[in-house]
Amino acid sequence: MVRLEKGKFDDFIRSLAEDYIVYAAVTTGGKSSFKVVASAGEIDEGRLLTDRSPKEIFFPHSEVLFEYDEDGIRETEKAGKPIAVWGLRGCDVKSLAMLDKVFGTARQMPDNEMFEDPYWKRKYDNSLIFGLACNEPRSSCFCNWLGGGPHSEDASDIFVIDAGDVFLMQPVSDKGKAFIGKMTDAAGASAQDEKRAAGASVAKASGADEKKAAELASGARAMMAEPPDLDGLDERLKGIFHEDIWEEMSAKCVNCGACAFVCSTCHCFDVQDEGKGGKGKRIRIWDSCMFPIFTREASGHNPRPLSRDRFKQRVMHKYSYFVDNYGESLCTGCGRCVIVCPVGVDIREVIKRVLSFEGKGAR
Amino acid sequence: MIEELREKVKKLLAGGDVELVIGWEKGSQPLSSTPVFIDSPEEADRLVFDSTCGNNPAVYSTKDARRLVKAGKKVGVVVKGCDARSLSLYVAEKQVKRDNIVIIGVPCRGVLDSDKVEELAGGREVLEYSEQDGKITVRGKDLDLTFDAKDVLSASCLACIYPDAKEYDIFIGEARDGKPNKEQNAAIDEFEKLSSEERWKRMEEIYSKCIRCYACRNVCPSCYCNECFVDQNDPQWIGKTPEITDTMIFHIIRNLHVAGRCVECGACERACPMGLDLLLLNRKAAREVEERFGYVTGIDSGEKPAMADFREDEKQNFIMG
Amino acid sequence: MKDWQPKILAILCNWCSYAGADLAGVSRIQYPPNIRVVRIPCSGRVDPLFIMKSLQSGFDGVLVSGCHPGDCHYLSGNYVARRRFAILKPLLEFIGIEPERVQFSWISAGEGERFAEVMTKVTNDVKKIGPAKRLVKGVQK
């Protein structure tokens, strides 16, 4: 573990920005999201969660896949530098790791070819993720329901703890270890390379620092309520697929896409061609299973015609189908959907209701 | 007040006067209430009404849930002034039969804009919320604040003319008449002072934040088309990306579709996860409708809605002479 | 910029303005060649979306023309249209679209002369304010 004095945080970000495109939480017009920053002053450190999900760093709301004109097809250019993300909370780090399972893992195509998503991979694979511990989780947080925790290091390259006037950094992945290693080396070799040294003003963390980190971690964990046992939730959901309980749970849902669009793991997309005359572009955009048009077929038939069906799909995909496909729930408990839902649908209450349901089909 | 409401609802349900009552119950978040569907007298104690009841419950009488219209059963709806206007509009537009709904008015003091509360709380999370005599108290860790409700009211409420239902069957307490509100046009008057260029710039600023989640449309009581024009894809009228012109066309056309039908409840603005100022255009359209056609939405369910009507001798100064 | 010619979309009612355009043509009345005509069955058919879409696609101006009040082939189509445009027009100006960009007129089948006058006026109006930039897709402010 190394320590970075907050007084040197700006130097750190500036030097990071030399090698990376640095994303961090920025607030404009009262709403926060991950944006490219060049200095520490632009970063909003007061926020626990950004209003917009950080998935858009690697999987933007709309992304041009290629452009075409009379001369042929042109792929969009790759960014020159790799991406570094500062200050992702444990839930969001985990979300990206989940999305990597969807986009980053090669999967078999019909003609025995393996396919992986190049647009995701070229950004995510070389990225450097700085996870940031939550010392004060919100009441809407429920990461501990899903195997996460406020001080979870999982999937971070470097795990950062805000310990008052210092950031304590724990390298987690090989990439993270290499980065921290380089920084400590640079600190030693400061005489030769002044600029590097300024950004790399880290020192080895003391025993007191480690103790502080452990205290913060246990304090944060204590702030979160005891989670229910979600064991067997996926099977239970399948068991009640045809029950009336969905009618009751979805009654107030108005089927907007707010939950899906702020969700850090929802990744359904639509592909649109926008062109005029001989040229145009193919764009990938976010879509949501909450919209009636999402499943409408060319014939006009819609297999999920009712609000209830679409609501059910979202819950099933998160807590059942994704478990079948990838072995874990497609939810990290960030609680963004709980915060934004305009009619106060709380996914935690839905889960609890499913767990307590005792009608036909339940365990 | 709330006890009286619960008693009335219990009586309605027990006597078989209604099958279902739509109202609000306490939400899981401190600053939220959430729509609730009460179908037995025992459940009536779940009902609440305070400044967190920002949703327009009328929505559920036409939206996909369709619990209300299902089988034409009689349903009670607990309403603020604006929500009652929505119901009157539905009756005028023949979406709901007046005999099938029991309108239960509650005295409204305006509803909160949670963004404003959060701003006052300065980043500290609100864990508890209470209100009394126009004062609101929020508490949390290192947070204990009391302020005037006026400071955190939704923009729509600050400009409200009809806080209480105009057409109702039952009113809890005494319904106040509509009264002029000089705040009503303040925002648009201010905006109109800007040059055309500045106005366009402001519009771009507002709508560039949109993420096209359609929360505004889906909570809007006046947006009840079975298929929205943005969901049409044969032909597809507008692009689906958050590109600025597509986004603006969505909002402007939605605005025109609800012109003369918008009750200015502000549910859209409160629903918006990105905090867009959506009421500015709505208010402008409503003022044009009122000035030109003398029509105010949802005040008289017997009146034909403005955009479905015409008069032969109307002003037409905008048409080339 | 000196050689720039505006593109103007004229949405014309089949029963009056479109025939007015015909009359202007057969009467050999000159008017600017900047208009592209779309024929519609009635001004009441004009969805504001058509107008927005035209601007978005790059037209510098849009003119909608229907029958004089009282002359509608379908009795009341133009009255309904008039209400719609009465709200659309101030709303567009409100958001910062120049008033010259979107205009409305009534032209009957017998008014070939007037048709030419209106086209000339709209073209000159749009020329004065220059190419459309607002609400045009793909154009940065």
**Residue A282 covered by a domain:** yes
Whether residues B55 and A261 touch (CB distance < 8 A) is answered with no
* Matching residue, tokens 């537009």: B93
Position A152 pLDDT exceeds 50: yes
Residue spans of alpha helices (H) in A20-150: 55-58, 90-99, 118-124
DSSP 8-state code for residue C76? S
Return residues 153-172 of B near A (CB < 8 Å): none
How many Å lie between the alpha carbon of B213 and the closest alpha carbon of chain C? Answer: 20
Q: Give the pLDDT score at C124.
A: 96
Nearest 10 degrees: CA dihedral of B226, B231, B235, B239? 150
The whole-angstrom separation of Cα C10 and Cα B255 is: 24
Is A194 exposed, middle or buried (CB count within 10 Å of its CB: 0-12, 13-18, 19+)?
exposed
β B75-79/B20-26 pair status: parallel
B99 touches chain C (CB under 8 A): no
Residue A139 and residue B215: Cβ atoms within 8 Å? no
pLDDT computed for residue B73 by the predictor: 77
Rounded CA separation B152/A39 (Å): 34
Residue pair A280/A273 in contact by the 8 Å Cβ criterion:
yes
Strands (E), A172-278: 202-204, 269-276
Amino acid at B91: V
- Say whether pLDDT at C35 is over 50: yes
Type of residue numbered C64: V
Interface test with B, best of C12, C68, C94 (most B CBs within 10 A): C94
Which residues of B fall within a CB distance of 8 Å from A348?
28
Do A132 and A157 sit in the same domain of this protein? Answer: yes
Nearest-angstrom CA–CA distance, B283 and B276: 14
Residue C123 lies in a domain: yes
pLDDT of residue C141: 42
C83 with B309: Cβ contact below 8 A? yes
Say if CB B74 and CB B48 are below 8 A apart: no
pLDDT value, residue A355 = 92
Q: Which domain holds residue A126?
A: 2-53+69-223
0.90 exceeded by pTM? yes
pLDDT at B124: 87
Residue whose structure tokens are 């402010």? C141
- Measured in degrees and rounded to the nearest 5, phi and psi for residue A45 equal -90, -10
Q: Is residue C122, in this structure, part of any structural domain at all?
A: yes
Cα distance between residue C135 and residue C139, in whole Å: 8
Task: Give percent of chain B with pLDDT exceeding 90.
Answer: 74
The minimal CB distance from B252 to the residues C91, C105, C106 is found for C91
Q: Which residue of chain B comes nearest to A306, CA vs CA?
A: B64
pLDDT of C140 > 80? The answer is no
Kind and range of the H or E run holding B249? helix B244-257
A277 and A213 in a common domain: no
Of B213, B215, B274, the CB nearest to A31: B274
- The answer to whether B88 and B300 have CB atoms below 8 angstroms apart is yes
- Asked if residue C28 belongs to a domain, the reply is yes
B9, B44 Cβ separation under 8 angstroms: yes
* Residues A278 and A169 grouped into a single domain: no
Residue whose C-alpha is closest to residue A139's, from A48, A261, A51, A216: A48
Total domain count for chain C?
1
- Residue from B53, B230, B241, B265 to probe the interface with A (highest A Cβ count within 10 Å): B241
Q: Which residues of A touch B127 (CB under 8 A)?
A: 139
Which of C46, C56, C64, C87 best tests the B interface by mutation, with the highest count of B CBs <10 A?
C87
Confidence of residue A359 (pLDDT cuts 50, 70, 90): confident
CATH for C22 = 3.40.50
Element at B145 (helix H, strand E): strand B143-148
Interchain pair B213, A258: CB under 8 A = yes
Give the minimum alpha-carbon distance from B284 to chain C in angstroms, rounded to a whole number: 7
Asked if B284 reaches chain C (Cβ–Cβ under 8 Å), the answer is yes
The rounded percent of chain C whose pLDDT value lies above 90 is 94
Which backbone phi and psi does A78 adopt, to 5 degrees? -75, 150
- Give the list of residues 6+ apart from residue A327 with CB closer than 8 angstroms, or none: none
Q: How many domains does chain A have?
A: 2
Q: How are strands ordered across the β-sheet holding A202-204?
A: A31-36, A21-28, A83-89, A128-132, A158-163, A166-171, A2-5, A202-204
CB contact under 8 A, B288 and C79: no
Judged by DSSP in three states, A130 sits in strand
Question: Which residues in A165-210 belong to E strands, given as ranges?
Answer: 166-171, 202-204
For tokens 């209430």, what's the residue? B33
Name the residue among A298, A211, A264, A348 with its Cα closest to residue A52: A264
| Maximum mean pLDDT: which of A10-24, A182-196, A203-217, B62-76 | A10-24
List chain C residues with CB under 8 Å of B240.
none
Q: Do A344 and B271 touch (CB under 8 A)?
A: no
User: What mean pLDDT value characterizes chain C?
Assistant: 94
Highest mean pLDDT among A75-84, B8-17, B70-79: B8-17
Give all strands of the β-sheet with C35-40 in edge-to-edge order. Answer: C35-40, C8-13, C61-66, C102-106
Preceding omega of A118 cis (within 30 degrees of 0):
no
pLDDT of residue B65 exceeding 50, the answer is no
In a shared domain, residues A286 and A336: yes
| Contacts with B249 from chain C: Cβ below 8 Å | 49, 52-53, 56, 135
Those residues of chain C whose CB sits closer than 8 Å to some CB in chain B are: 48-49, 52-53, 56, 69-70, 76, 79-80, 82-98, 103-106, 118, 121, 134-137, 141
- The pLDDT assigned to A192 comes to 52
- Asked which of A186-200, B189-203, B250-264 is least confident by mean pLDDT, the reply is A186-200
**Could you tell me if A194 and A328 lie in one domain?**
no
Is residue A62 included in any domain, yes or no?
A: no
> d(Cα B261, Cα B280) in Å, to the nearest integer?
15
Q: Is residue C136 part of a domain?
A: no
* Helices C17-26/C112-129 angle, 10° precision: 100
The reply to whether A287 and A166 lie within a common domain is no
pLDDT for residue A191: 47
Using DSSP bridges, classify how beta strands C8-13 and C61-66 pair: parallel, antiparallel or unpaired.
parallel
pLDDT digits (tens, 9 = 90+) for A177-191: 999 998 887 666 554
The pLDDT tens digits of the residues spanning B285-309 come to 999 999 999 999 999 999 999 999 9
State which amino acid sits at residue C3: D
How do residues B27-56 score in pLDDT, each as one tens digit?
998 888 999 999 899 999 999 999 999 999
Predicted pLDDT of residue C109: 96
Check CB contact of B274 with chain A, cutoff 8 Å.
Answer: yes
B191, B193, B196, B204: which to substitute to probe chain C, counting the most C Cβ within 10 Å? B196
What are the distances in angstroms from CA B252 to CA A291, B207, B258, C76, C139?
Answer: 21, 10, 10, 25, 19
Give B195-215 pLDDT, tens digit per residue. Answer: 999 999 999 999 999 999 999
Report yes or no on C34 lying in a domain: yes
The confidence band for B66, taking pLDDT boundaries of 50, 70 and 90, is low
pLDDT of residue B68: 54
The residues near C94 (Cβ < 8 Å, ≥ 6 apart) are B188, B191, B192, B199, B281, B284
Residues A216 and A88 in one domain: yes
Q: Is residue A8 part of a domain?
A: yes
Compute the mean pLDDT over every residue in chain A, rounded to the nearest whole number.
90
**What percent of chain A has a predicted confidence (pLDDT) above 90?**
77
Which residue matches tokens 């860790």?
A: B141
The pLDDT of C88-117, averaged and rounded, is 96
At how many degrees (to 10) do helices B244-257 and B279-293 cross? Answer: 40
Residues in chain A closer than 8 A to B77 (CB atoms): none
> Which among B119, B123, B214 has CB closest to A256?
B214
Kindly report, residue by residue over B118-148, the tens digit of the pLDDT: 889 887 889 999 988 889 999 998 899 999 9
CB contact under 8 A, B241 and A61: yes
Chain-wide mean pLDDT for chain B? Answer: 91
CB burial readout B295-317, b (16+ within 10 A) else e? bbbbbebeeebbbeebeeeeeee
Three-class DSSP category at B82: helix
Taking contacts as CB-CB distances below 8 angstroms, the residues of chain C near B309 are 83
d(CA A349, CA A312): 14
CA torsion through residues B180, B181, B185, B189, sign: positive
Instruction: Tell me the nearest-neighbour CA distance from B216 into chain C, angstroms.
Output: 19
Q: Which residues 62-81 of B are in CB contact (within 8 Å) with A?
A: 63-65, 67
> From CA B250, how far away is CA B207, in angstroms rounded?
10
Q: What is the pLDDT of residue A76?
A: 82
Task: Give B272→chain C minimum CA distance, Å.
Answer: 20
pLDDT of the residue at B64: 47
Note whether residue A58 is domain-resident.
Answer: no
- Using CB atoms, list chains with 3+ pairs below 8 Å to chain A: B
Q: Is residue A166 part of a domain?
A: yes
* Residue at token pair 């008052």: A164
Query: Which residue, among A224, A254, A296, would best test binding to B if mutated, counting the most B CBs under 10 Å from its CB?
Result: A254
Residues of C in contact with B225 (CB under 8 A): none
Tokens of A238: 């399948």
Lowest mean pLDDT among A174-178, A232-236, B68-72, B173-177: B68-72
Torsion angle of C-alpha atoms C74, C75, C77, C79, degrees rounded to 10: 170
Tell me how many degrees the CA angle B45-B47-B53 measures, rounded to the nearest 5: 160
Out of C48, C91, C98, the one facing B196 most closely (by C-beta) is C98
Give pLDDT tens digits for B210-219. Answer: 999 999 999 9
Domain boundary among A179, A198, A223: A223
Quote the minimal CA–CA distance from A206 to chain B in Å. Answer: 30
Q: Among all residues of chain B, which has the CA nearest to that of C79?
A: B310
Least CB-CB distance to B275: which of A30, A139, A251?
Answer: A30
Residue A60 lies in a domain: no
Are C48 and B200 within 8 A, CB to CB? Answer: no
Among A59, A223, A252, A291, the strongest candidate for a mutation testing the B interface, having the largest count of B CBs within 10 A, is A252
CB A272 to CB B240 under 8 A?
yes
Does residue A268 share a domain with residue A188? no
Angstroms from B129 CA to nearest CA on chain A = 14
Residue A63 lies in a domain: no
What domain range is C52 assigned to?
A: 8-129
